[in-house]
Structure 1
Amino acid sequence: MAHNMSQLNELIEITRDGQHFYQHAMEAVKDVELQHLFRDLAQAKTHVIQALSVKVAANQEQPAQGGTTAGKLREVYADTKARLSDPDAVYVDQLDQAEERILGAFEDALKTAEPDVRALLAIELPKLRACHARIHALNHRDEGR
């Protein structure tokens, strides 16, 4: 069970990266619709983090409180790139990639998790897929034209 709690804490950290990145991007973009979308997606991440944290705490473990270095580096990269081109497009693209990282981590964890953790991940995964679909569609909206 300790492995599963460690795995859940890693997922909390990766999801928190996404949450922080959305909050950061929300302040960096000027487009009001993007700000609203980013707020909604940050909130979705908050709900996932809470669900995972409850499971970790229920197993007498301490839920992860921070994010990852990779997540912070992605924000710094996006900030730098945004100064050189269209900030809205840069943040949408980088958030799309962050969503892919989160989704991949959850799907990988689902393969090795014990049944009770797998059940929790199965509940949270559709929420993450929906977040990914929203930002991915926005990021690739002009490709079909």
Structure 2
Amino acid sequence: MSNTATQLNELIEITRDGKRFYEHARDEVKSGELKTLFSNMSQAKSNVIIALEKRVAANQETPASGGTLTGKVRQVYADTRAALSSDEEATYIAQLEEAEDRILHAFEDAMETKDPDLRADLVAEMPKVRACHDLMRDLKKAQ
């Protein structure tokens, strides 16, 4: 597998972790407003994943289909904290904001690539990644 495909697949897996976490949190919270927000954030992650998968496939490589162990552990940790917390929704928001940090940092690290085509693809996705990150950061601060 090429270095470009490997980098893209790592981003796909990390972004998929976020998507799955939003879907899980959506099913756990009671607030209709948060359910809608988490659904929208999950869809935003899907859009980024699809764009990255197309780039991997265009290089005759196989896109990653799973997530990471770190993502699964983070979700279990959030569930445990939410169960012990008096404010389950604030716990999920805080943990989702941390997941957004992880995604943003992974994209920022990947943008240091010397491959101009990969960099162009990442630059195209960064506004979506940053917007999701900033939304969750602002939501966490408002809590």
| TM-score band w.r.t. shorter chain | over 0.9
Q: What is the match of residue 131 of structure 1?
A: 132
Secondary structure at the residue paired with 1:57?
A: helix
Query: RMSD between aligned alpha carbons?
Result: 1.0
Q: What is the match of residue 73 of structure 1?
A: 73
After TM superposition, where is structure 1 displaced by more than 2 Å over at least 4 residues in a row? none
What does 1:1-145 correspond to in 2, within 5 Å? 2-85=2-85, 86-142=87-143
The amino acid across from 2:74 in the alignment is R
Secondary structure at the residue paired with 1:112?
A: coil
Separation of aligned partners in 1, 2:13 and 2:118? 16
Percent of pairs with identical residues: 57
CA change 1:104–1:44 in 2 (3 A) is: same
Separation of aligned partners in 2, 1:91 and 1:55? 32
Q: Which blocks of at least 5 consecutive residues in structure 1 are unaligned?
A: none
Separation of aligned partners in 1, 2:53 and 2:45? 12
Tell me the number of residue pairs that the alignment of Structure 1 and Structure 2 aligns.
142
Separation of aligned partners in 2, 1:94 and 1:120? 28
TM-score by length of 1: 0.96
TM-score by length of 2: 0.97
Q: Which blocks of at least 5 consecutive residues in structure 2 are unaligned?
A: none
- Residues 1-33 of structure 1: per-residue CA shift (max 9 Å, x gap): 810110000000000000000000000000111
